[in-house]
Amino acid sequence: MAEQPEPNSFARVLAGNKTFANRTAHHEPDLLHKCAQGQTPEILWLGCADSRIPETTICDLKPGDLFVHRNIANVIISEDLNAASVIEYAVNFLKVKRIMVCGHTKCGGANAAMHDDDLGIVLNNWLHPVRELRRKYQEQLDDISCSEAKADRLAELNVYKSLETLEKNATVVKAMAERDLTLHGVIYDIREGRLRVLDEAMREGNEKSIDVLKR
């Protein structure tokens, strides 16, 4: 018997969705009904668009557990209306209790930001804040001999910088003062499949956040 050709990626997606729908209907019949009633996530997840880091999968969560925004290198800057709209909706309307910024090891964006190679107009502009961060902490990064470890450290610094940006966001500041919204920075280790929580001082305000960045 001739071997059946493997389905293309689009066909696999459709087949996988059918499997998910059938399995969920059988094992968790209330889940999709609950999702259809609305969403009440407690966490806003700000992460990287990398295909290896599907947040609900790596955290063993279900649809409806996280409100999500992802982009190249998990860059959070005040000028980005896309991210700002997600943050404002999550905080003011969904009333999330926590915001998590997740960077990761072996990040292509962080690795690209370690150099000034021309990536094209859009990516050059998008990674500019991360490249600026690299320049600011070049001396610290130069103390790291391994190029991969340098990029991983830049990914950490980028999470810290994103948290600092959030701590200056008016919507976030108001929610932190009125209802104890908390911020968390984490790094996902692709090799280990585990999240590592970054310095707890990042939760305590700008001054300590800046101290951490200076280390």
Query: DSSP letters of 23-85?
Result: HHHHH-HHHHHHHHT----SEEEEEE--TT--HHHHTT--TTSEEEEEEGGG---TT-HHHHH
- Scan for tokens 């018997």, then name that residue: 1
How far apart are the C-alpha atoms of 147 and 15, rounded to whole Å? 40
**Residue of 69, 102, 107, 199 marked active site:** 107
Radius of gyration of the chain (CA): 19
DSSP-derived secondary structure letter, 10: H
107 is catalytic: yes
Catalytic residue among 69, 102, 104, 153: 104
The residue to which tokens 């450290």 are assigned: 153
Catalytic residue among 12, 23, 33, 52: 52
CB 100 within 8 A of CB 43: yes
Alpha-carbon separation of residue 125 from 72, 75, 118 (angstroms):
12, 12, 10
Task: Please enumerate, by residue number, every residue annotated as part of a binding site for Zn(2+).
Answer: 48, 50, 104, 107
Q: Is 50 labeled as catalytic in the residue annotation?
A: yes
Active centre residues (catalytic): 48, 50, 52, 104, 107
